[in-house]
Amino acid sequence: MLARHGLQLPRVYPTFFRLAFAEMDAEKAHHTGFGMIRAAESTGASAALRRFTRPDRRLATRVMGLDFPSPFGLAAGFDKQGLGTSALADLGFGHIEVGTITGQPQPGNPAPRLFRLVEDKALINRMGFNNDGSAAVAPRLKATRARLTRRFGARRPILGVNIGKTKAVPLEDATRDYLTSTSALARHADYLVVNVSSPNTPGLRQLQAIESLAPLLAAVGREADRTTGRHVPLAVKIAPDLADEDIDAVAAMAQDLKLDGVIATNTTIERGGLVTPGAEVEQMGAGGLSGAPLKERSLQVLDRLRAGLPEQIGLISVGGVTTGADVAERLERGADLVQGYTAFLYEGPFWAARINRELAAASSGITRGTGRA
């Protein structure tokens, strides 16, 4: 029954969300839900579902020199520390990006720091890169890659690693901090992402200026390849709040540095066009907005980057993705991969599997904007 009807029963999740999570503190709800996903893996329940959640072979795609079982993956921010990556892989994501991980351990910003805008299907977060630091996360990622290979073989989900700056490190020492993470983590990453676009670490977005960003990326790329003895695909993640001319400059820099990918976009500091009353939004305070309200700007940045990037540089689109149709639209407009995060909290654990089914059903009608198969 489940196989024939494509796991339609888990569409009861929106009701479950309203009953179990809607009134719960958002960060507590995240940890509770993530704990349930990890428990499903530890008890063997997710293994029984894997044959239903595994992406259709027609969805396989090659980007940045890597073979992804599906173009749809989970963005950084959900599994910040590599604690449940293989459990998430059982849900059907073609790749999972762990992080953001910093050179040194840090607790992040004071709570409360995660807020739901349910009417907008959005989140505001000011988590502040809370994580145990690169040295502690590295062995988790090593074990995860081995587990994914045993479980899925050659068609395993891809493991991305997203790195950022430790808050206490001055901007002038940022490169050294990123290199600390690179030397610890690159060997366990299928691809590496330099995050300079979170609004929740003071001064971080200043590193998006090309005169700072280019040498930083070049140094990380050299260290990753030196440490591993292989080429580690390298991408940069940018903010939606960049001016159009700055987006063009990023595209030019990516070509000059021969980057493997650009991820667009991170969360926004804008608050326009929300359904949630302004007084409620103001009470939530500072932080990055993600989810459905980010969709239009994310698409604008996608279009601009695709026009400025050659096909060999992978373009990963994220921001306001909810349905298989959203993912298909990104692919048709030139994205090579698509990521989601916020809708996962509202759509439930079978979200990725549902998107993969929708993509597979529409696969004959999807035309990649770059002309790739």
Positions marked catalytic: 198
Please tell me whether 17 is known to bind a ligand.
no
Please tell me whether 121 is known to bind a ligand.
no
Please tell me whether 127 is known to bind a ligand.
yes
Q: What is the dihedral of CA 12, 14, 17, 19, to 10 degrees?
A: -70
Please tell me whether 291 is known to bind a ligand.
yes
Q: How many CB atoms lie within 10 A of CB 274?
A: 17
Sheet containing strand 288-291, edge to edge, reads: 114-117, 122-125, 288-291
Categorise residue 273: left if φ over 0, alpha if ψ from -120 to 50, beta otherwise. Answer: left
Please tell me whether 109 is known to bind a ligand.
no
Secondary structure (DSSP) of 214-244: HHHHHHHHHHHHHHHSS---EEEEE-TTS-H
Q: Please give the structure tokens belonging to residue 246.
A: 């700055």
* Measured distance CA(369)–CA(331) in Å, rounded: 6
* Measured distance CA(92)–CA(6) in Å, rounded: 13
Please tell me whether 162 is known to bind a ligand.
yes
Please tell me whether 77 is known to bind a ligand.
yes
Please tell me whether 266 is known to bind a ligand.
yes
Please tell me whether 356 is known to bind a ligand.
no
Please tell me whether 342 is known to bind a ligand.
yes
Please tell me whether 369 is known to bind a ligand.
no
Please tell me whether 103 is known to bind a ligand.
no
Contact (Cβ atoms closer than 8 angstroms) between residue 266 and residue 198: yes
Q: Which helix (H) or strand (E) holds 368?
A: none
Secondary structure class of 115 (helix, strand, coil): strand
* Measured distance CA(370)–CA(302) in Å, rounded: 12
Please tell me whether 320 is known to bind a ligand.
yes
Please tell me whether 195 is known to bind a ligand.
yes
CA pseudo-torsion sign 122, 265, 207, 168: positive
**Annotated binding residues for substrate, as ranges?**
80, 125-129, 195, 200, 266-267
**Annotated binding residues, as ranges?**
76-80, 100, 125-129, 162, 195, 200, 237, 265-267, 291, 320, 341-342
**Annotated binding residues for FMN, as ranges?**
76-80, 100, 162, 195, 237, 265, 291, 320, 341-342
